[in-house]
Chains A and B, each alone.
Chain A
Amino acid sequence: MPETATTPAIQFQGVGKRFGDNVVLDGLDFSVAAGDRVTLIGPSGSGKTTILRLLMTLEEANDGLILVDGQPYTHEIRGGKRVAIPEKRRSLVRRRVGMVFQQFNLFPNMTVLENIIEAPIHVLGVPRAEAVATAEDLLDKVGLADKRDARTTQLSGGQQQRVAIARALAMEPEILLLDEVTSALDPELVADVLAVLRNIAETTDITMLIVTHEMQFAREVSNRVLMFDGGKIIEEAHPEEIFTSPKNERTQEFLRAVL
């Protein structure tokens, strides 16, 4: 999709992140248009996952600004200084961002249904009956309607991940972050999860940021691929283009190794 004049869903402006002496992101600039499906690729340690974690406020950037729908999210410039935005305001943006984790992270003390309705009821204030109905629809969509009252610990990895996807969608996020969601799954369980995600990509206009090693999936779902190396974007292109004829040498090397 070509850049338009509309406000991007996500903007990184000079974002830097260090862990001790290790510089993970260094003055990173990029933006994602609403409805875009962007896949981040690159060698491990290149900062892809950090970007998702910054957007989920699981990490705090050391420099720069992150904007969602044009609004400062975690920090803003006031009186020429970069200051942290209070938790209350962050929370209002955070609830519009959903995340699915590599390790599923379902709550074992709740049933499948309870996992899904917890946040809609307590964070968004959705009436219980409505939250349950939505959850049941979502479970149906991910093919787990019969697991409604199951304990999460009784599910396979693939099933847990599909519940986690339903849980994230129940918040009706504008932005969905997918952090290596199939990496912890046995190979035969990957297909079901990808099918669910493909379906979401086709039937919704949620902005997606995807970190994955499933290049075929990235190719099918995303409309933009960003290649990261050393905390910087070194190549950016349409998936067809980058997967068939990468321009950057590092990209070529990386793709040769993973494809």
Chain B
Amino acid sequence: MSDNPQILAELLPQLGEGILVTLELTVGGALLALVVAFTLGLASRARTRWARVPSRIVVEFFRGTSLVVQIFWMYYVLPLPPFYVELDPLACGIVALGLNYGAYASEVVRGSINSVPRGQWEAATALDLGPVHRLRRVIMPQAWPLMMPMFTNLLIQLVKGSALAAYISLHDLNFFIGELRQRSSETVFSYTVGLLLYFAVAYLLTLVMNAIEVRAKHRIGAGPSLREVLRLAPPASATAASVAPPPAAVPAAKGGAQDD
């Protein structure tokens, strides 16, 4: 037992690598998921069926199938005929995480855009702002803060989902925990350290996301600025808070994590 801290110290380089890989998977997966989410989310609102139907199919498919199976499929099936696509394990992990969580997040994008009051669309139309301009300058800046709490949720789930990467030969945090257990022969110690490590990564990301959310809300005149929050200064006025969009305005994406 007393050797444990020493073993941990010896494994520090591996721990560093593990955290790095987990962060690579998380950041890469999240960025891809963001692109996928906006692409599918916007397509699902399109007027033409040619954009809407494929988007629905992709969303339902990636939401409805297990992340583990998706990752294994990309790793073990894609290199086989008739595909012959060999992705390196990191790319596999990022693509699987990006598509899976992107599908969930696209529902967040769609729901948040739909939650922007109709009057905003109408006022933009009355000023003859074109559809793209209207979306970019009027609707998105208001939909974005609505998306943030749910994006934070999904990002945390994505971090945990990334643990599956250890099963396709990636040396991520999960892999490191296994290594620690082997070297120390201490199951309780290893997995407890594992819990704490994942928690630390997830919490760090939560803090970053909360900062982004505060900033996004402040930019639509709802809530204090980030500077005010960090200083823990009292809010400048109560009037701004009264227009904060109701947190329940966005319909929740179906289901939760599926890091099964």
Contact = CB atoms under 8 A, between A and B. Distances in A.
A123 B122 contact: no
A120 to B, nearest CB: 9
Contacts of B123: 99, 101, 105-107, 164
B interface secondary structure, majority: helix
A103 B123 CA distance: 10
A98 B126 contact: yes
B122 A58 contact: yes
A108 interface: yes
A154 B128 contact: no
A119 B221 CA distance: 20
A109 to B, nearest CB: 4
A91 B240 contact: no
B126 A168 contact: yes
B221 A108 contact: yes
B138 A109 contact: yes
B49 interface: no
A153 B129 contact: no
Given A101-B123, A105-B123, A122-B129, A154 B240 contact: yes
A119 B125 CA distance: 10
A151 B221 contact: yes
Interface in B106-154: 117, 119-120, 122-130, 133, 137-138, 141-142
B243 interface: yes
A95 interface: yes
A152 interface: yes
Interface string B75-99: 0000000000000000000000000
A108 B137 contact: no
B239 interface: yes
Contacts of B120: 105, 107
A167 B222 contact: no
Contact of A56 (B126, B133, B221, B222): B126
B183 interface: no
B227 interface: no
Interface in A166-190: 167-168, 171
Interface string A143-169: 000000001111000000000100110
Interface string A52-96: 000011100000000000000000000000000000000100110
Contacts of B125: 56-58, 94
B220 A108 contact: yes
B126 A153 contact: no
Interface residues of B, number: 26
Nearest to B120: A105
B208 to A, nearest CB: 22
B106 to A, nearest CB: 22
A122 B132 CA distance: 12
A136 interface: no
A154 B239 contact: yes
A123 B138 CA distance: 14
A119 B138 contact: no
A36 interface: no
A118 B237 contact: no
A87 to B, nearest CB: 9
A108 B240 CA distance: 10
Contacts of B240: 151, 153-154
B141 A109 contact: yes
Contacts of B117: 105
Interface of B: 117, 119-120, 122-130, 133, 137-138, 141-142, 219-222, 237, 239-240, 242-243
Given A106-B123, A167-B127, 6 more contacts: A57-B125, A58-B125, A105-B123, A107-B120, A153-B243, A171-B127
19 contacts: A56-B126, A58-B122, A91-B130, A94-B128, A101-B126, A107-B120, A107-B137, A119-B127, A119-B129, A153-B221, A153-B222, A153-B239, A153-B240, A153-B242, A154-B237, A164-B123, A167-B127, A168-B126, A171-B128
